[in-house]
Structure 1
Amino acid sequence: MPARIDHIYVHPARAVFMAMVDLDLIVMKYAQLGARKIAVKEHATRSDQVHLKVSRLHPAPSDLPSMFSKLANEWNHITYTETWDLTRNDQWCAAFSLDIRGLPIKIAGTLALMDVRGGCRHQIDLTVSCSIPFIGKAITQYLQMDAERHLAREHQIIAQQLAGEVA
Protein backbone atom coordinates (compact mmCIF):
# COMPACT_ATOMS: atom_id res chain seq x y z
CA MET A 1 0.00 0.00 0.00
CA PRO A 2 1.74 3.20 -1.16
CA ALA A 3 1.62 6.52 0.67
CA ARG A 4 3.26 9.93 0.31
CA ILE A 5 4.20 11.89 3.42
CA ASP A 6 5.61 15.42 3.36
CA HIS A 7 7.37 17.16 6.23
CA ILE A 8 8.55 20.76 6.11
CA TYR A 9 11.70 21.95 7.88
CA VAL A 10 12.69 25.58 8.41
CA HIS A 11 16.28 24.70 7.54
CA PRO A 12 17.87 24.18 4.10
CA ALA A 13 17.97 20.69 2.63
CA ARG A 14 21.73 20.35 3.14
CA ALA A 15 21.42 21.03 6.90
CA VAL A 16 18.54 18.55 7.24
CA PHE A 17 20.45 15.96 5.24
CA MET A 18 23.53 16.36 7.44
CA ALA A 19 21.37 15.87 10.54
CA MET A 20 19.68 12.79 9.06
CA VAL A 21 23.00 11.04 8.40
CA ASP A 22 24.74 12.14 11.61
CA LEU A 23 25.51 8.90 13.48
CA ASP A 24 25.12 10.42 16.96
CA LEU A 25 21.74 11.89 16.02
CA ILE A 26 20.61 8.61 14.48
CA VAL A 27 21.38 6.72 17.69
CA MET A 28 19.80 9.44 19.85
CA LYS A 29 16.68 9.56 17.63
CA TYR A 30 16.10 5.81 17.82
CA ALA A 31 16.69 5.82 21.58
CA GLN A 32 14.08 8.55 21.98
CA LEU A 33 11.70 6.43 19.93
CA GLY A 34 12.10 3.63 22.49
CA ALA A 35 14.67 1.44 20.73
CA ARG A 36 17.53 -0.34 22.42
CA LYS A 37 20.62 -2.20 21.21
CA ILE A 38 21.03 0.35 18.42
CA ALA A 39 23.97 -0.50 16.16
CA VAL A 40 25.26 1.21 13.05
CA LYS A 41 26.20 -1.78 10.88
CA GLU A 42 27.30 0.13 7.78
CA HIS A 43 28.21 3.76 7.17
CA ALA A 44 29.88 4.67 3.90
CA THR A 45 30.24 8.20 2.55
CA ARG A 46 31.38 9.78 -0.68
CA SER A 47 30.95 13.35 -1.84
CA ASP A 48 27.71 12.46 -3.63
CA GLN A 49 26.44 9.43 -1.67
CA VAL A 50 25.84 8.18 1.87
CA HIS A 51 24.91 4.59 2.72
CA LEU A 52 23.61 3.60 6.15
CA LYS A 53 22.48 0.35 7.73
CA VAL A 54 21.25 0.48 11.31
CA SER A 55 19.81 -2.32 13.43
CA ARG A 56 17.87 -1.98 16.64
CA LEU A 57 15.41 -3.66 18.93
CA HIS A 58 12.16 -1.75 18.82
CA PRO A 59 9.17 -2.31 21.10
CA ALA A 60 5.90 -3.40 19.55
CA PRO A 61 3.36 -0.58 19.48
CA SER A 62 1.05 -0.51 22.49
CA ASP A 63 -2.04 -0.31 20.26
CA LEU A 64 -1.13 -3.34 18.15
CA PRO A 65 -4.32 -5.04 16.85
CA SER A 66 -4.96 -8.44 18.40
CA MET A 67 -4.76 -10.18 15.00
CA PHE A 68 -1.18 -8.96 14.67
CA SER A 69 -0.06 -9.21 18.29
CA LYS A 70 0.24 -12.99 18.00
CA LEU A 71 2.84 -12.55 15.25
CA ALA A 72 4.93 -9.71 16.65
CA ASN A 73 7.29 -9.99 19.57
CA GLU A 74 7.38 -7.61 22.51
CA TRP A 75 10.72 -6.42 21.08
CA ASN A 76 11.32 -6.71 17.33
CA HIS A 77 14.69 -6.73 15.59
CA ILE A 78 14.60 -4.10 12.85
CA THR A 79 17.23 -3.44 10.21
CA TYR A 80 16.92 -0.14 8.37
CA THR A 81 18.95 0.56 5.24
CA GLU A 82 19.10 3.78 3.24
CA THR A 83 21.31 5.04 0.44
CA TRP A 84 21.32 8.77 -0.30
CA ASP A 85 22.48 10.24 -3.61
CA LEU A 86 23.02 13.88 -4.54
CA THR A 87 21.17 14.61 -7.80
CA ARG A 88 22.12 17.07 -10.53
CA ASN A 89 19.48 19.45 -9.14
CA ASP A 90 21.27 19.55 -5.76
CA GLN A 91 18.54 17.45 -4.18
CA TRP A 92 19.28 14.56 -1.89
CA CYS A 93 17.30 11.43 -2.79
CA ALA A 94 17.38 8.04 -1.12
CA ALA A 95 16.04 4.53 -1.41
CA PHE A 96 15.27 2.81 1.89
CA SER A 97 14.05 -0.50 3.23
CA LEU A 98 13.05 -1.72 6.65
CA ASP A 99 13.22 -5.39 7.59
CA ILE A 100 11.48 -6.75 10.68
CA ARG A 101 13.14 -10.07 11.45
CA GLY A 102 10.78 -13.02 11.34
CA LEU A 103 7.74 -11.15 10.00
CA PRO A 104 6.41 -11.39 6.42
CA ILE A 105 6.29 -7.61 6.09
CA LYS A 106 8.06 -5.35 3.61
CA ILE A 107 8.46 -1.64 4.10
CA ALA A 108 10.40 0.28 1.46
CA GLY A 109 10.37 3.50 -0.43
CA THR A 110 12.16 6.68 -1.36
CA LEU A 111 13.12 9.89 0.40
CA ALA A 112 13.81 13.29 -1.10
CA LEU A 113 15.00 16.56 0.40
CA MET A 114 14.41 19.67 -1.68
CA ASP A 115 14.87 23.33 -0.84
CA VAL A 116 11.69 25.38 -0.75
CA ARG A 117 11.10 28.98 0.27
CA GLY A 118 11.92 29.27 3.96
CA GLY A 119 13.40 25.79 4.38
CA CYS A 120 13.05 22.40 2.76
CA ARG A 121 10.54 19.68 2.09
CA HIS A 122 11.19 16.09 3.09
CA GLN A 123 9.13 13.88 0.79
CA ILE A 124 8.66 10.25 1.79
CA ASP A 125 7.12 7.72 -0.59
CA LEU A 126 6.40 4.60 1.41
CA THR A 127 5.11 1.17 0.44
CA VAL A 128 4.03 -1.35 3.06
CA SER A 129 3.09 -4.93 2.24
CA CYS A 130 2.30 -8.07 4.20
CA SER A 131 2.09 -11.56 2.69
CA ILE A 132 -0.18 -13.13 5.31
CA PRO A 133 -3.36 -14.48 3.69
CA PHE A 134 -6.71 -13.02 4.77
CA ILE A 135 -5.41 -10.55 7.35
CA GLY A 136 -2.49 -9.09 5.37
CA LYS A 137 -4.46 -6.07 4.14
CA ALA A 138 -5.56 -5.11 7.66
CA ILE A 139 -2.02 -5.52 8.96
CA THR A 140 -0.69 -3.43 6.07
CA GLN A 141 -3.15 -0.63 6.83
CA TYR A 142 -2.18 -0.64 10.51
CA LEU A 143 1.54 -0.69 9.72
CA GLN A 144 1.18 2.22 7.32
CA MET A 145 -0.62 4.26 9.99
CA ASP A 146 2.06 3.32 12.54
CA ALA A 147 4.85 4.22 10.09
CA GLU A 148 3.27 7.64 9.54
CA ARG A 149 3.14 8.23 13.32
CA HIS A 150 6.74 7.07 13.67
CA LEU A 151 7.92 9.33 10.84
CA ALA A 152 6.09 12.31 12.35
CA ARG A 153 7.95 11.73 15.63
CA GLU A 154 11.28 11.39 13.77
CA HIS A 155 10.54 14.70 12.02
CA GLN A 156 9.86 16.33 15.39
CA ILE A 157 13.12 15.03 16.87
CA ILE A 158 15.20 16.17 13.88
CA ALA A 159 13.51 19.60 13.80
CA GLN A 160 14.19 20.07 17.52
CA GLN A 161 17.81 19.03 17.05
CA LEU A 162 18.26 21.47 14.18
CA ALA A 163 16.70 24.24 16.26
CA GLY A 164 19.20 23.50 19.04
CA GLU A 165 16.47 22.32 21.40
CA VAL A 166 16.79 19.28 23.59
CA ALA A 167 14.55 16.70 21.96
Structure 2
Amino acid sequence: MKINQTHQYDQNLDAVFALFADADFMAKKYTTLGARNFKAKTVSLEDSHLLVDTRREVPVDDNTPAPLKKFVGEWNRARQKEEWNKQADGWHCNFKVEISGVPARINGTMHLCQTEKGCENVVTIDISSSIPFVGNALCNFIGKNVDKLVRAEYKVIKEHLESVSA
Protein backbone atom coordinates (compact mmCIF):
# COMPACT_ATOMS: atom_id res chain seq x y z
CA MET A 1 0.00 0.00 0.00
CA LYS A 2 1.25 3.47 -0.85
CA ILE A 3 0.53 6.70 1.00
CA ASN A 4 1.26 10.13 -0.45
CA GLN A 5 0.67 13.37 1.44
CA THR A 6 1.85 16.95 1.01
CA HIS A 7 1.96 19.12 4.13
CA GLN A 8 1.95 22.89 3.64
CA TYR A 9 3.43 25.22 6.26
CA ASP A 10 3.38 29.02 6.48
CA GLN A 11 6.76 29.01 8.26
CA ASN A 12 10.13 28.84 6.56
CA LEU A 13 12.11 25.68 5.94
CA ASP A 14 14.52 26.18 8.86
CA ALA A 15 11.73 26.64 11.43
CA VAL A 16 9.93 23.48 10.32
CA PHE A 17 13.08 21.38 9.94
CA ALA A 18 14.17 22.32 13.46
CA LEU A 19 11.20 20.34 14.82
CA PHE A 20 12.37 17.17 13.05
CA ALA A 21 15.68 17.53 14.96
CA ASP A 22 14.15 18.36 18.36
CA ALA A 23 13.81 15.34 20.69
CA ASP A 24 11.68 17.32 23.17
CA PHE A 25 9.21 18.27 20.45
CA MET A 26 9.13 14.66 19.20
CA ALA A 27 8.22 13.46 22.71
CA LYS A 28 5.44 16.06 22.92
CA LYS A 29 4.15 15.20 19.44
CA TYR A 30 3.99 11.46 20.00
CA THR A 31 2.48 11.81 23.48
CA THR A 32 -0.19 14.11 22.01
CA LEU A 33 -0.89 11.41 19.43
CA GLY A 34 -1.44 8.80 22.13
CA ALA A 35 1.95 7.05 22.17
CA ARG A 36 3.70 6.12 25.39
CA ASN A 37 7.24 5.30 26.53
CA PHE A 38 8.86 7.52 23.88
CA LYS A 39 12.66 7.43 23.75
CA ALA A 40 14.95 9.31 21.40
CA LYS A 41 17.93 6.95 21.12
CA THR A 42 19.71 9.13 18.57
CA VAL A 43 19.15 12.68 17.36
CA SER A 44 22.39 13.76 15.73
CA LEU A 45 22.56 16.88 13.54
CA GLU A 46 25.85 17.74 11.87
CA ASP A 47 25.89 20.40 9.15
CA SER A 48 23.84 18.85 6.35
CA HIS A 49 23.05 15.47 7.90
CA LEU A 50 20.52 14.43 10.58
CA LEU A 51 20.14 10.93 12.04
CA VAL A 52 17.10 10.13 14.18
CA ASP A 53 16.39 6.80 15.89
CA THR A 54 13.34 6.73 18.18
CA ARG A 55 11.25 4.15 20.02
CA ARG A 56 7.69 4.36 21.27
CA GLU A 57 4.66 2.27 22.03
CA VAL A 58 1.67 3.02 19.85
CA PRO A 59 -1.97 2.13 20.46
CA VAL A 60 -3.75 -0.05 17.93
CA ASP A 61 -7.12 0.81 16.41
CA ASP A 62 -10.01 -0.82 18.29
CA ASN A 63 -11.45 -2.02 14.97
CA THR A 64 -8.68 -4.53 14.23
CA PRO A 65 -10.08 -7.26 11.95
CA ALA A 66 -10.12 -10.68 13.67
CA PRO A 67 -7.61 -12.38 11.30
CA LEU A 68 -5.06 -9.63 12.05
CA LYS A 69 -5.33 -9.69 15.84
CA LYS A 70 -2.59 -12.33 16.12
CA PHE A 71 -0.14 -9.81 14.59
CA VAL A 72 -1.06 -6.78 16.67
CA GLY A 73 -1.76 -6.23 20.35
CA GLU A 74 -3.40 -3.33 22.13
CA TRP A 75 -0.01 -1.60 22.09
CA ASN A 76 2.85 -2.19 19.68
CA ARG A 77 6.50 -1.21 20.03
CA ALA A 78 7.65 0.90 17.12
CA ARG A 79 11.17 1.91 16.11
CA GLN A 80 11.55 4.74 13.62
CA LYS A 81 14.85 5.50 11.91
CA GLU A 82 15.30 8.62 9.78
CA GLU A 83 18.26 9.79 7.75
CA TRP A 84 18.02 13.38 6.55
CA ASN A 85 20.40 15.01 4.05
CA LYS A 86 20.43 18.64 3.00
CA GLN A 87 20.53 19.20 -0.74
CA ALA A 88 20.17 22.25 -2.97
CA ASP A 89 16.35 21.90 -3.06
CA GLY A 90 15.83 21.29 0.67
CA TRP A 91 16.05 18.39 3.11
CA HIS A 92 15.55 14.80 1.92
CA CYS A 93 14.77 11.94 4.30
CA ASN A 94 14.68 8.17 3.98
CA PHE A 95 12.96 6.46 6.88
CA LYS A 96 11.70 3.12 8.06
CA VAL A 97 9.39 2.09 10.86
CA GLU A 98 9.66 -1.35 12.43
CA ILE A 99 6.74 -2.62 14.50
CA SER A 100 7.74 -5.47 16.82
CA GLY A 101 6.07 -8.74 15.91
CA VAL A 102 4.26 -7.34 12.87
CA PRO A 103 5.32 -8.94 9.57
CA ALA A 104 5.18 -5.77 7.49
CA ARG A 105 7.71 -3.28 6.20
CA ILE A 106 7.11 0.46 6.38
CA ASN A 107 9.54 2.53 4.33
CA GLY A 108 9.24 6.09 3.18
CA THR A 109 10.70 9.37 2.09
CA MET A 110 10.15 12.98 2.99
CA HIS A 111 11.20 16.02 1.03
CA LEU A 112 11.03 19.28 2.97
CA CYS A 113 11.47 22.26 0.66
CA GLN A 114 10.97 26.02 0.63
CA THR A 115 7.94 27.45 -1.19
CA GLU A 116 6.84 31.01 -1.93
CA LYS A 117 4.53 31.04 1.10
CA GLY A 118 6.64 28.98 3.52
CA CYS A 119 7.58 25.37 2.94
CA GLU A 120 6.10 21.96 2.27
CA ASN A 121 6.86 18.39 3.22
CA VAL A 122 6.12 15.74 0.60
CA VAL A 123 5.66 12.41 2.39
CA THR A 124 5.63 9.07 0.57
CA ILE A 125 5.20 5.78 2.44
CA ASP A 126 5.22 2.20 1.16
CA ILE A 127 3.81 -0.61 3.32
CA SER A 128 4.46 -4.19 2.26
CA SER A 129 4.36 -7.73 3.63
CA SER A 130 5.52 -11.08 2.29
CA ILE A 131 2.91 -13.02 4.29
CA PRO A 132 0.60 -14.96 1.95
CA PHE A 133 -3.16 -14.40 2.10
CA VAL A 134 -3.40 -11.99 5.05
CA GLY A 135 -0.46 -9.81 3.95
CA ASN A 136 -2.61 -7.53 1.79
CA ALA A 137 -5.23 -7.16 4.51
CA LEU A 138 -2.48 -6.43 7.05
CA CYS A 139 -0.91 -3.78 4.79
CA ASN A 140 -4.29 -2.15 4.17
CA PHE A 141 -5.05 -2.10 7.90
CA ILE A 142 -1.63 -0.65 8.75
CA GLY A 143 -1.88 1.77 5.83
CA LYS A 144 -5.20 3.21 6.99
CA ASN A 145 -3.79 3.69 10.49
CA VAL A 146 -0.52 5.19 9.22
CA ASP A 147 -2.35 7.54 6.86
CA LYS A 148 -4.50 8.79 9.75
CA LEU A 149 -1.46 9.06 12.04
CA VAL A 150 0.61 11.05 9.52
CA ARG A 151 -2.29 13.48 9.04
CA ALA A 152 -2.54 13.85 12.82
CA GLU A 153 1.24 14.45 13.08
CA TYR A 154 0.91 17.20 10.48
CA LYS A 155 -1.88 18.81 12.52
CA VAL A 156 0.23 18.72 15.72
CA ILE A 157 3.25 20.24 13.93
CA LYS A 158 1.14 22.93 12.26
CA GLU A 159 -0.61 23.88 15.52
CA HIS A 160 2.73 24.06 17.35
CA LEU A 161 4.24 26.31 14.69
CA GLU A 162 1.20 28.58 14.74
CA SER A 163 1.33 28.84 18.54
CA VAL A 164 5.00 29.83 18.64
CA SER A 165 4.70 32.35 15.81
CA ALA A 166 1.56 34.02 17.18
TM over 0.5: yes
Normalization by structure 2: what TM-score? 0.93
Task: Give the deviation of 1:117 after TM superposition.
Answer: 2.0
Root mean square deviation, CA, Å = 1.2
> Which letter maps to 1:36?
R
Deviation of the 1:69 alpha carbon = 1.8
Q: What's the TM-score once normalised by structure 1's chain length?
A: 0.93
| 1:164 CA drift (Å) | 1.3
Letter in 2 for 1:5: Q
8 Å CA contact 1:20–1:158 kept in 2: the answer is: no
Aligned counterpart, 1:47 = 47
Counterpart of 1:25 in structure 2 is 25
- Asked whether the 8 Å contact 1:19–1:162 carries over to 2, the reply is no
Q: How much does 1:88 deviate?
A: 2.2
Select between 60-69 and 76-85 the one with higher mean Cα deviation: 60-69
Would you say how many aligned residue pairs link Structure 1 and Structure 2?
164
Alignment of 1:52-91 (within 5 A): 52-89=52-89, 91=90
Q: 2: CA distance between counterparts of 1:2 and 1:58?
A: 21
Matched, 1:132 2:134: no
Q: Does 1:14 align with 2:43?
A: no
Structure 2: stretches of 5+ with no match in the other structure? none
Taking the aligned partners of 2:142 and 2:6, their CA distance within structure 1 comes to 18
Match of 1:105 in 2: 104
Contact 1:84–1:94 (CA under 8 A) maintained in structure 2? yes
Q: What SS class does the counterpart of residue 163 from structure 2 fall into?
A: coil
State the one-letter code of the partner of 1:131.
Answer: S
Q: Give the counterpart letter for 2:134 in structure 1.
A: I
Q: What does the per-residue CA deviation read over 1:5-39, in whole Å, with 9 as the maximum and x for residues that have no partner? A: 11111111221111122111100011111111111
User: Which string of whole-angstrom CA distances, capped at 9 and with x for unpartnered residues, describes residues 118-167 of structure 1?
Assistant: 121110111001222101112112211211100000000001111116xx
